[in-house]
């Protein structure tokens, strides 16, 4: 049988999916072991055990100086910045994205402007934000919003324009006003695409979050990584990177699950990643 026609059981799928992860961890363990044979005090590739100790120290022992549980403090601070930034972007994507996609006057007026804004490398705005808003939470949230909103707006307005014209005409023949079409036809139809836009927006959002925290912050996952970098504390950095990746993965999966649950009509056919 051709390989493209073979399907595999759920167990086999999970097993197959875990092989690359196992290989990566195995390769790391071997490399780390070899380096520590040469130099038991090697800091570059710490053993899995010492990383475990570091996780325990960061997550379950109060910090001697501040009394905080640093891993959880950093996680909560970072996630709340991310959430506020993405939330504002989402509101902008719904409001501006639908207006641009649906109403010709607004499209002509704003689409070139948003397209231009989306081309500004957001990191270049960071110094401006620090100057205007100071080093507090506002500038970090603003960076995330500025970095993600233009692309999300364009994603949603594109989705609006891809709604078959027949459906809009049909709504008109059923007596709908422009506002009613937005609330009952356009918004529901682009909601799944909006979730996709959020999932895609989260990727750069993490970059901007970590960057802003690295440059000016007193807490957060990015702050911690760049802080302990001074002591070459790979035993903290590597678990933090893994933890950030895990958080990003969980967020992505939660959004996909929410989309499947809230918009079953959109997931009735086809496979999606």
Which residue lies nearer to another protein by CB, 66 or 180?
Answer: 180
Residue 63: CB partners within 8 Å, gap ≥ 6?
69, 70
Closest CB 263 distance from another protein, rounded Å? 7
Closest CB 55 distance from another protein, rounded Å? 44
Which residue lies nearer to another protein by CB, 17 or 164?
Answer: 164
* Residue whose structure tokens are 């690295």: 214
Closest CB 209 distance from another protein, rounded Å? 33
Closest CB 208 distance from another protein, rounded Å? 33
Which DSSP symbol is given to 3?
G
Whether residue 197 contacts residue 155, with contact meaning beta carbons closer than 8 Å, is answered with yes
Classify each residue of 70-79 as buried b or exposed e, where b means 16 or more C-beta atoms within 10 Å of its C-beta: bbebbbebbe
Which residue lies nearer to another protein by CB, 31 or 169?
Answer: 169
Which residue lies nearer to another protein by CB, 43 or 184?
Answer: 184
Distance CA 233, CA 236 (A): 6
Which residue lies nearer to another protein by CB, 29 or 262?
Answer: 262
Distance CA 61, CA 15 (A): 35
Closest CB 169 distance from another protein, rounded Å? 6
Handedness of CA 5, 11, 17, 22 (dihedral sign): negative
Which residue lies nearer to another protein by CB, 71 or 195?
Answer: 195
Closest CB 110 distance from another protein, rounded Å? 23
Distance CA 221, CA 79 (A): 9
Distance CA 253, CA 81 (A): 20
Residue 169: burial class (beta carbons within 10 Å; 0-12, 13-18, 19+): exposed
* Residue whose structure tokens are 């702050």: 223
Closest CB 176 distance from another protein, rounded Å? 5
Distance CA 101, CA 184 (A): 15
Distance CA 229, CA 264 (A): 46
- Two tokens, residue 94: 């719904």
Binding residues vs another protein (CB under 8 A): 164, 166-167, 169-177, 179-180, 183-185, 188-189, 263-266, 268-269
Which residue lies nearer to another protein by CB, 138 or 177?
Answer: 177
């Amino acid at each position: 049988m051709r390989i493209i026609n073979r399907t595999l059981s759920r167990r086999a799928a999970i097993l197959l999916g875990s092989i690359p992860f196992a290989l990566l961890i195995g390769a790391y363990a071997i490399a780390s072991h070899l380096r520590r044979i040469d130099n038991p005090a090697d800091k570059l590739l710490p053993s899995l055990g010492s990383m475990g100790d570091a996780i325990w120290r960061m997550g379950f022992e109060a910090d001697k100086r501040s009394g905080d549980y640093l891993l959880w403090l950093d996680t909560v601070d970072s996630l709340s910045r991310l959430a506020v930034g993405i939330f504002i972007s989402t509101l902008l994507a719904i409001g501006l994205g639908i207006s641009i996609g649906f109403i010709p006057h607004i499209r002509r007026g704003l689409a070139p402007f948003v397209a231009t804004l989306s081309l500004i490398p957001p990191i270049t705005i960071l110094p401006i934000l620090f100057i205007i808003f100071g080093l507090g939470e506002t500038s970090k949230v603003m960076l995330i919003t500025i970095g993600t909103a233009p692309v999300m707006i364009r994603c949603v307005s594109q989705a609006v324009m891809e709604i078959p014209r027949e459906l809009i005409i049909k709504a008109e023949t059923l007596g709908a006003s422009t506002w009613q079409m937005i609330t009952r036809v356009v918004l529901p139809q682009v909601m799944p695409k909006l979730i996709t836009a959020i999932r895609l927006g989260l990727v750069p959002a993490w970059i901007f979050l970590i960057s802003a925290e690295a440059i000016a912050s007193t807490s957060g996952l990015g702050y911690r990584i760049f802080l302990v970098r001074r002591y070459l504390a790979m035993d903290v950095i590597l678990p933090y990177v893994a933890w950030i990746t895990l958080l990003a993965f969980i967020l992505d999966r939660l959004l996909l699950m929410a989309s499947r649950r809230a918009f079953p009509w959109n997931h009735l056919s086809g496979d999606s990643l």
